[in-house]
Structures are given as C-alpha cells and as structure tokens.
Amino acid sequence: MTLAAMRRAGTEDTLHVEEVALSEIATKFGTPCYVYSRRALTAAFTAYRDALQKHGVLARSLICYAVKANSNLAILNLFARLGAGFDIVSGGELARVIAAGGDPEKIVFSGVGKSRTEMHAALKAGIHCFNVESASELDQLSEVAGNVGYRAPVSLRVNPDVDAKTHPYISTGLKSAKFGIAYDQALSLYRHAAALPHIAVKGIDCHIGSQLLDPLPAAEATEKILALVDQLATAGIALEHIDLGGGMGIQYRSEEAAPTVADYLAPMLNKLKGRHEKLLFEPGRSLVGNAGLLLTRVEVLKHGEEKHFAVVDAAMNDLMRPALYDAWHDIVKVMQSGIPGDGAGDTANRTSLPYEIVGPVCESGDFLGHDRQLALAEGDLLAILSTGAYGMAMASNYNSRPRAAEVMVDGAAVHLIRRREDIAELFALESILP
Ligand code: LLP
C-alpha cells in the first residue's frame, strides 16, 4: 500500500487498511506480519481490465498474473475468481495455481531452465503454453511431449534487445541477458519448431524487465515483436497470440509518481491497433505490490557514534529487496502519536531523528531503510509500505527465523492466509547422523 491509499483514524491517528486498524492486526497476529488488502488487489486487476477494455482488446486478452511476485494461495485464488490466468516459472508454482483453483488452460510457463519433470507435469495439466527460451529447451520439450504422446503448445520468448532502463538485476531484454532467444535467430528457430511433430507453435513472448516506469521501452519491444510476427506470417507461420510480458512499475516513494496502468499500457496498445491476435500480459508487481505492507515493531533503539538505529522485528529474511537491490520502501509509523501509558515514553517528547531501520540479522546488509526521519520509541509499530510484491515470495529462514504471518483484510474482516511458522518446523526436515 502507499500511504495515500490508507487512512488514519482514531485518537492516535492509527493507520487503517480498509476498515481495520493495523494496531489490531499486530495485537491479534503478532509481528512481523504481511498485510494485504482484497480491495486493493481487486482494484489493481480491474485497472488492467479497464485499460484493455478502453482499447477494445479485452475480449481477446488474457491477464496472466506472474505468480512469483506473491504466490500465497489466497491471492492466487482471488485472481482466479477475477478471471485471471497465471504466468508460472516452476512445477511448484504450477501446483500452487492448481491448488488455488486456477484454470490450467490459462497458464503460461516461463523460465530459462524448466526440468523435464516440470515439463511433463505442465503437459499433463494441459497448460495454455510453454514460453520457450532456447533451442535446447525446445528439443527437450519436444522429446518429453513425444514420450507421452502430446503436442506441446509453444511460444518462443524473443529477446528484442531493448534497454528497459531499470535495475540491472531485473533488466532482462538486452542481448547480454540470459533470457530469451536472440531476435535474429528467432525466425530460424520458429521454422525448426514448426517442423517438430510434438510441438504446436502458438505464439510469441517477450518480457524486457521489471519495475519499468517509462512505457516507451515496452512499446518499442512491442513494435519489434510485431515486425517479427509479420515476418513469420510471410514465412507461413501464423501465430495465435502475442504475450507482452509483465514489468510495469509501481510507486515506491511518496514523492516519486508512477504511471497508471492505463498510461503505461497505452503506447503499447496503440501499436496493436487493427491486429487480430490474442494478447497475453504477465503482470506481477503492478497487481500486488501496492496491495500489501509489512507490519513490524521496534525492538530496540540504539544511538551509535555516527548513526541512530531502530532495530525492528522484521529483517532482510522477511524483505530482501532493500539488501538485494538497494530498493526503497516508504516506512511510516502506524500510530502517529504513540499510545499514552504504553511504556514507550511520552510521545510528545520523542525527538525526530534520522534512523537506520535495521533487522536483527547478523549482517550489515540487513537494513530495511536508510536515513528515515522518524520520532520513535521502543515498542512502536511501523509499516513498511509497497511490499505486496517480491516480499514474502522472496522471504527465507536465514538466521533460523520463522517466516512472518500473512493476513488479508476484506472490509472490516481480517483473514489469516498463512500462519506464522513455528520454530520446530524450521528443522523438521533435517536429520542427524545415526
Ligand atoms: N514475466 C516474466 C517472464 C518475468 O520474468 C517476470 C518477472 C514477470 C513476468 C513479472 O514482472 P513484473 O510485472 O512483476 O515486473 N525480485 C525483483 C523482481 C524480479 C522480476 C522477475 N521477473 C524485485 O523484487 O524487484
């Protein structure tokens, strides 16, 4: 969530998600805790639908939610109910989508290294399409499909060599990336695919990166892909669908705006006017990122020689993005003015200081935010905003820390959608030597 999407209410100006005070969630479910909003998730999905509707392409579009952004079953189920398809990258994600009630016929399977077991499982499930990323993968898939007497539906992920202008770790569309098939080799690989008896050529796919705020690289990639689609048609290979990937960025800092879905998609959709192919999209972050936050409590305030530290009960194992990408997440106090008599001291006398917001993990890279001007007391609740995407999904048990609870707010109700892990569960799969 962004701060603008939430309201403050009550004597303490407590932050609310929908109708529920975050302080109540902390009391009931403990911290750290991921909090999602059903209303925000629905609104994000609807924004995509509305934009596609506005361009008259909704009826031939499929929005395949990129499961990797947040794979909680409740979230997958919510999108399935809204009619979404899914973009998966592993057998694990396939199983999740099916367990959540997703329609296998609306699944696309991306990724540079699908195992034969995963290919087999996806074929049996009857997925919509494999997004194939290399010549070897195509041959392996053909072999796996042949062994079970299937024809694998395929689109080739083509690398359009466009600079997405995002963080290098999440930029995927340049020639130097491990992703996709080189643009100049695509035609010959399509010819090869079309000749394989256990492969059914269905479409084309591209994804140039993530957290893209400028819509022009995606529009440029679309143009290149369309040129290839036309070249393929001339060569006698007619494609049924064009998959334009995901990547749309979201607002992470209150002072930095992000485009709306409609504005982001417009230049891309303008290039698709007058075409007949089915359109697929693979948004992840833009469907869930601003529908979630991470609730955490200040354990210790520590005033070092050079810096002030607020050690909170969430850490890099709960939210890796700051450590991994130097990513910024807004961090705000849940109660604007603390609770009188909560043992945290007189709130009026708290001094606002530039805090390093850090976790208890034994690494200097374990930070959630640098230099945040806040008036804090031990015991304060903080909300780390815009953490619905690639937050819990990338969480680990590093330092033997149980992963956080996840809850979904729906109006005035709160549902636990993943309980906090128990310590004993962390080593339940391990054994000692006889
Ligand atoms: N399709 C493909 C083939 C992808 O590789 C990705 C993301 C998506 C769709 C969804 O992209 P989105 O709409 O979410 O930008 N952990 C990083 C992000 C990694 C993105 C990987 N691929 C982060 O926390 O920023």
- Among residues 36, 202, 247, the alpha carbon closest in space to that of 109 is found at 202
pLDDT of residue 348: 53
Q: What amino acid is encoded at 140 in this protein?
A: Q
Please indicate whether residue 157, judged by its CB atom, sits closer than 6 Å to ligand 1: no
| Peptide bond just before 32 cis, omega within 30 deg | yes
User: Does residue 362 carry a catalytic annotation?
Assistant: yes
DSSP 201: E
pLDDT of residue 166: 75
DSSP string, 72-113: -HHHHHHHHHTT-EEEE-SHHHHHHHHHTT--GGGEEE--S-
Of the listed 33, 64, 129, 362, which one is catalytic? 362
Please indicate whether residue 245, judged by its CB atom, sits closer than 6 Å to ligand 1: yes
DSSP 398: G
Distance CA 218, CA 346 (A): 52
Question: Which residues in 364-391 are b (16+ Cβ under 10 Å) and which e?
Answer: eebbbbeebebbbbeebbbbbbbbbbbb
Residue for token digits 């796919």? 205
pLDDT of residue 255: 85
Please indicate whether residue 69, judged by its CB atom, sits closer than 6 Å to ligand 1: yes
The Å distance, Cα 375 to ligand 1 centre, comes to 35
Beta bridge partners, 278, equal: 241
pLDDT of residue 341: 44
Please indicate whether residue 210, judged by its CB atom, sits closer than 6 Å to ligand 1: yes
Please indicate whether residue 180, judged by its CB atom, sits closer than 6 Å to ligand 1: no
For residue 334, CA distances in Å to 39, 194, 271, 327, 328 come to 20, 57, 44, 21, 18
Q: What amino acid is encoded at 134 in this protein?
A: S
Residues in the chain: 434
Index of the ligand 1 atom closest to the CA of residue 110:
3
Query: What's the maximum distance between 2 C-alpha atoms anywhere in the chain?
Result: 76
pLDDT of residue 163: 83
Pocket perturbation via mutation, ligand 1, pick of 90, 114, 285, 294 by most ligand atoms within 8 A of CB: 285
Residue for token digits 């699908």? 114
Q: What amino acid is encoded at 36 in this protein?
A: Y
Beta bridge partners, 301, equal: 310
* Per-residue pLDDT tens digits of the chain, which is 434 residues long: 999 889 999 989 999 999 999 999 999 999 999 999 999 999 999 999 999 999 999 999 999 999 999 999 999 999 999 999 999 999 999 999 999 999 999 999 999 999 999 999 999 999 999 999 999 999 999 999 999 999 999 999 999 988 877 777 766 766 777 889 999 999 999 999 999 999 999 999 999 999 999 999 999 999 999 999 999 999 999 999 999 999 999 999 988 899 999 999 999 999 999 999 999 999 999 999 999 999 999 999 999 999 999 999 999 999 999 999 999 999 999 998 754 444 444 455 678 999 999 999 999 999 999 999 999 999 999 999 999 999 999 999 999 999 999 999 999 999 999 999 999 999 999 999 99
The Å distance, Cα 209 to ligand 1 centre, comes to 7
Tokens of 112: 């540079």
The Å distance, Cα 218 to ligand 1 centre, comes to 14
Tokens of 255: 């002072």
pLDDT of residue 141: 98
Which residues, in sequence order, are CB contacts of 46 under 8 Å at separation 6+? 82
CB distance 222 to 273 below 8 Å:
no
